[in-house]
Structure 1
C-alpha cells in the first residue's frame, strides 16, 4: 500500500507503547475543555460535539466488531472515525507494517493504518507525545473558530477565544533556543534575553542594542535582543514558527502584538525615529512573522532600514551624530581604516557637508567601495 513501510524495531516499540497507553486511557489523548461549550444563541460548539461522539466510542473500546463498523462509517465525525480506528489498532499484538505521515507544519510520525480515517488524524492520535502533531486532528475545528494550545504539560481547547494558559507560554519559552530570565512587573511576567533590562522592554524604552518585544494580550512580555536573534543557525527553528506551531490555528496576532526597538548610538532619547524608519521596522517584522525572512538577518535588516530612514545628521557605522563637531566625527572614525590625517580630512568634509550643505552633499552616502 502506498505510504506504508516495514516497521523497524524502534518504531514498533514506540507505537506499541503509545497505543498501549492510549487503549488504557483514551481520554488522555483528547484536549481538555477550558470553555463552557456554549456559543451564541445556546449553540453547542463543534469540539464538544466531537468529544460527545468520541465518548460513545470509548465506551466500546474493547468491542472490536463495533469499532470495525465505526472506523469505516461513511458518515459521522472524522476525528471520531480516526479515534475508533486507532482504538482498534491498539488491540494489535504486533506492528509490522506502518504508515508514514509527513507535514511541513505539523511534523511527521509513523502510525497504524486502520479504518477510513484521515492519515493525519490517525497519526496525530497515535503520536500524542508529539506536541504539534497531536493538534492536527482538530484542524477543521480550528477553521471553524476554535482555539487549541499544546505544551509538555497539557493540551487544551479554549473555545472561540484565544486565551493561552500561563503554563503554555512558560513551556514554549523553556523549549526555545533562548536563555531567558524572568521578572514580574505590574503583576505580569516579563522574559528577556541576556543584556536586556526587563523594565525597558516592558515600557518600550529606546535601546542602542535593540530588541523585539512579543506583547501578549494577557499582559506577559517576551523581549529578544537583536544580538540573540542574530545567533540563528540552519539547525534552529525560527522562534515565531516555534511559538505559532504550539497553537491552533497558528495565528500569532490573535494572542500577541509584535514591536521592535533599535536606535543608532547617539540618537537623542526624546526624539522619535522618522516615519520611514518606523514603517521599515514593521515591514521587517511582518516578513519575519510570515517566515519570508531568515531569522538570522532580522537584526541587520532592522538596523539597515532604520538608518536608511534617517535623513538628518551623520551616520558613521551605527553611530549617529549631529555632524557639527569635527572632533566628534573624528572620534567616531577611530575604528575605521586610514591615517590620522585622512580621518581629520574626512571629518572636515563631513562637517562641512552638514553645516554648509551643497546640493551634491545632501543625502551623501560613503561606503567601503566609494
Structure 2
C-alpha cells in the first residue's frame, strides 16, 4: 500500500498561515517614500488650512477624519482609480448622503443602521463609478456620530474632498507623479515596441474574466505586463547573444556590383537581403528585392509589366552613359539598422516580431560585418532554447 502523507505539524501549519499573512515588501525606493510622506503632509496641511475659511454648521467638524485615509490614496497611490478626483469627491459625498439618509430614515438598532450605511455607500459608489474606500468611513462616521445636519455632505465632506484633490493636483506633479491620472488606455508611445502583442480589448476581456476590482489604471497595468514579459524573455534566454544565432559570413556585394549580378545572387542564394560593404568590410548599406522593385518604378506604374521593367533595370546599358541605375550603390538602402555580435538576442525580439525587420547585419568589435541575423535565425535559436 502506498504510504499516506504525514499529518501536518503545528510548525508547518503556522508557516502556512504566516505565508498567507506575511506582507510583501514595497517595491519603492527611499526617494519615493519621502515623496509620499512629504506630499501627504503638505496636502493635508493645505486642505485643512483652507477648510477653516469656510466654517461648517454649528456642531459639525471643520475637518472630517476620513480625509486622512483619502490622503493616503491621493498621495501614495495617485495613479489608482480609487484616488482620482471623481472617486474622492463623489465617493465621500455620496457616502455622506447615504449615511444621512440612514440616520433619518432607519430605526435602530444602531449596529444595523451602521451596516446599512456602509453597504449602501458601497452600492452607490459602485453604481456611480466613484468607489473610494474612505467613503465607507464617511458613511460610518455619519451614523456613529448620529449626524443629522443635511449640510454635512457639503461642508465639511465635499469641501474637504475638493480641497484635498486640488492639493493633490498641485503637489503630485511637483514630485514627478501625474494627477489626475488618465484611466483609459492611451495609444502606445512611439519608440521600441514590446515583445508581445495584445490590444486594449484583449486586456479588457481578461479583466472582465478576473471579475475583481483592479486598483491600477489600464495604462500602468499594460506597462507592467509588458515589462514583466520582457524581463521573463531576458531571463529565459539568459546569455544568448546575436553571435550565437546569426548566419556567419553572409553573402555580400560592393557598391559597384552590377545590378544583374546582385539580382542573380538574390535569386540563386534564396536570401532576402545582401549587405553592401566596402573593401574593409564596413557596411555601406543593404540591397533587397524591395529596392529592385522600387527602382523599377513599381509604385508609380503599377504591377503591370513588372517583369519587363525589372529585366530592363538589371540589363547593363552599353556605352559610357546610362539613364538608369547600373550598380548596387545606386539603388541600395543607405540607412541600415545594425547590431553587435555580443548584444543579447532578447533585446532584438521586438524588432523582428513587431517592427517589420527581416534581417539585421551583425558587426564585430571592429565594426566590420561578421554575420547577418534573420527572422529564420531567431526562430531557430528560440526553438533550440525551447528544446
User: Does TM, scored on the shorter chain, surpass 0.5?
Assistant: no
Of Structure 1 and Structure 2, the greater helix share is in 2
Tell me the TM-score normalised to structure 1 length: 0.25
Tell me the TM-score normalised to structure 2 length: 0.24
* Bigger Rg over Cα: 2
